[in-house]
A and B are shown apart, each in its own frame.
Chain A
Amino acid sequence: MELRLSQRILTGIGLLLLILWSIGPIYWAIATSFTPTPDLMSQPIHFFPEHLTLNHYQRLAGFGTVASNDVTVAAQFRNALVNSVITALAATIVSIFLASLGGYAFARLEFPGRQTIFFIVIATIAIPGYTVLIPLYRLMVSLKLLDTYLGVTLIYLSAFLPLALWLMRSVFQQLPLSIEEAARIDGAGRMTILFRIVMPLAAPGLVAASIITFLGAWGQYMVPLIFSPTKTKPLTVLIPEFSTKNFVDYGLINAAGTIAMIVPILIVIFLNRYLVSGLTAGSVK
């Protein structure tokens, strides 16, 4: 459809506003992370940092001119980064594995209680975290899974599986049944069909569900705060620690926050194609 010039200008302005709205706050966080601490509290504020500093990042990385207690900041930060990656990856792999198998079952296989089970699983999305916090904590303690990757992964699984399952089921439902039927007539078993034929076709949906799960797990706060206090502590729990009772280190918080953004940003930029095609699975002929 051709647009008139005036409409194109309006669309252009709208897009510009949309982009400003989306990246404005991110820009500000990044700008803050490069501003020396004394400059942060200056008036009037500067929209572009007057002086740039890498000090906050150096302190996170653990080199440059640093005070003695920054050695632990760097070590903590590295561990937290690794923990964030491990727990988010583990949660994604397990969730997507179960969700794709289950999604196929709920989409294609007729079994007793199919609708009811599906509805109950999806309904759990509405349960607030606090409702299950204490019983879940007791469970994790009795299983000795507190502060372990397995424990956190299991909790993430219970939180993100429903949405992933919902997505995967709909992806399978969108696939044409005729291909599967043809394969069956050729004598292929269900599992062969699932892994050889259906999964490759559902790849975009798999990627989309993976990304949504990964980003969800990456941003978790309350769960790791309670369930992974030390050894498996992720970035999101570490970042607020930079504000002690007596001093809020905005530069350090924004620098750590910026790094916490980098992984999601990379994902969005490089996997955007899959994300979009996955979410628009129905429309891609």
Chain B
Amino acid sequence: MNVLLRTTVALAALTMALPAFADDAKPLAGQSITVLLPSGQSPSLAADFEKETGIKVDLQMLSWDDIRPKLITGLIAGTPPADVTEFDWSWTGQFAAAGWYEDLTPLIDAETVKDIAGSSIFTVDGKLLGVPYSNDFRVMLINRKHFTDAGITDTPKTLDALVAAAKTIKDKGIATYPIGLPLSTSEGTSTSWYLLTKAFGGELFDKDFKPLFTTPDSAGYKALEFEIMALKDGLVDPASTGLKDSQINESMFAQGQTSIMISGEPGRIAQFADPAKSKVAGQIEAILVATESGNTRSYGLLEALGIPAASEHKEAALAFIKWMTSKDYQIKNYGVGVLPTRTSALEQLNNDGKLLSGAVLVEQAPTVGALFPQGTPTWYPQFSSAVSNAINQAVKGEVTVAQAVQSIADETVKAQQQ
């Protein structure tokens, strides 16, 4: 433990000196690090970084679903899976409890932490375990052409207005199923329900992680009722009970068959604007998350970069993280569809007119909160799985809403005790 502490302190001292040298001296040149990220990164990522710092990067890219088994295998075996790795918001509780990642608090300057508001999601007991590099929060995405064709000019701010708009679009025959909402047993189903819970003005848990969604007047309960109503009223395609969010985005929304994505991902806007991948280029825009009260809310699902505690090249790894989360690189990285985490970078992109649906994203960003303000729990995977399984059963009519939320609560309690 002492050794670890000493290296951290030494590291801190060294890195504070780093920026001064960075331009001319390249103090870490010649070192090499491994970096594990999901596929879809800029192809010149490694080369750009090496040019800047002289540090060689062995970039390992895996599909998103494959990152976690790869990471966990290395971490449980006690070896660093890489010197810098992907660090998803949902892993925070587990990785913090396992003590797998280096505390970056003394290494990252306060200004950066302030500029990247999402840092708080990755901070556990005062320790910053990852620096967010890819921003993701929820907005709603609409097909503006469908709205205009249906004669709707106002942008819905409340859920009631949203449902009314959807009904108008359906009645006019513009879209058979105007609302896109995943209801299968997949993560996208859970994240959509979280957003609707927020939209109904509630939270998932109180500060002691007691479930807040079991009573009929709770936001989570109403959110599930809302989903069932949307399905029963024919606003949501019945096929959604078997579809993941990505499938709904690609096979319905991008085809112009659906008008509203309840749980919209800003990262997809660029894809929808690309005529090669979408039939609705020029028709899609983001709107603020409509809520019951009309006061918009959202939550963040950011991805960060962290350094496994077992890494042997921490200085070079830190240099990489600083570089990849710098304002300049974030602005550049928006080119491959990675939304900046720095408020300053977002603003600049918007001011330059480069940010698609920029005004909405910049307005939504400050309303983004943590899904678990009390810290992501270690049992998040069980909770999320219980949520999607219960919702899927409820919308198929196999269980009632009360039974569904109760089963989520029961599973949560069980997971908490394990």
A residues contacting B by CB (< 8 A) are 37-38, 41, 68-69, 71-72, 133-134, 137-138, 141, 222, 225-226, 229-230, 237, 240-248
Contacts and interface: CB of A to CB of B under 8 A. Distances in A.
B397 interface: no
Interface residues of B, number: 38
Contacts of A241: 39, 61-63, 66
A37 B58 CA distance: 32
B70 A226 contact: yes
A225 B77 contact: no
A41 B254 contact: yes
Contact of B64 (A38, A68, A226, A244): A244
Interface string B64-80: 11100110011011110
B297 to A, nearest CB: 23
Contacts of B255: 41
10 A-B pairs with the lowest CB-CB distances in the bound complex, closest first = A244-B40, A241-B39, A72-B43, A240-B63, A69-B43, A241-B63, A138-B77, A229-B60, A137-B77, A141-B79
B190 to A, nearest CB: 16
B250 A248 contact: yes
Interface string B242-259: 000010001100110000
Contacts of B36: 229
A229 to B, nearest CB: 5
9 contacts: A41-B279, A69-B336, A141-B77, A241-B39, A243-B63, A244-B64, A245-B267, A246-B265, A247-B268
B250 A41 contact: yes
B66 A240 contact: yes
B93 interface: no
Contacts of B251: 41
A168 B62 CA distance: 37
Given A69-B43, A241-B61, A247 B271 contact: yes
Interface in B28-60: 34, 36, 38-40, 42-43, 58-60
Contact of A225 (B58, B66, B76): B66
Given A37-B276, A225-B66, A248 B246 contact: yes
B58 A226 contact: no
Contacts, number: 84
Contacts of B58: 230
Contact of B267 (A38, A134, A246): A246
B337 interface: yes
B277 interface: yes
Contacts of B76: 134
B61 A68 contact: no
A68 B44 CA distance: 10
Contacts of A141: 77, 79
Contacts of A68: 43
A222 B59 CA distance: 20
Given A37-B276, A37-B277, A69-B42, A225 B62 contact: yes
Contacts of A229: 36, 60, 62, 70
Nearest to B79: A141
B60 A246 contact: no
Contacts of A134: 73, 76-77
Given A41-B255, A71-B43, A248-B250, 16 more contacts: A68-B43, A69-B336, A133-B73, A230-B58, A230-B59, A230-B60, A240-B65, A242-B63, A244-B39, A244-B63, A245-B38, A245-B40, A245-B64, A245-B267, A246-B246, A247-B250
B312 to A, nearest CB: 13
Contacts of B268: 246-247
Q: Which residue, of B70, B73, B254, has the highest number of chain A Cβ atoms within 10 A?
A: B73
Contacts of A243: 63-64, 246
A138 B78 contact: yes
A33 B254 CA distance: 20
Contacts of B63: 240-244
A245 B277 CA distance: 15
A137 B70 CA distance: 11
Interface string B384-400: 00000000000000000
A56 to B, nearest CB: 12
Nearest to A69: B43
Contact of B276 (A38, A71, A244): A38
A31 to B, nearest CB: 18
Contacts of B65: 240
Contacts of B337: 246
B20 to A, nearest CB: 33
B31 to A, nearest CB: 17
Contacts of A247: 246, 250, 268, 271, 277
Contacts of A222: 69
Contact of A38 (B62, B271, B279): B279
Interface in B62-102: 62-66, 69-70, 73-74, 76-79
B62 A237 contact: yes
Most chain A CB within a 10 A radius of its CB, from B63, B69, B277, B336: B63
Contacts of A226: 69-70, 73
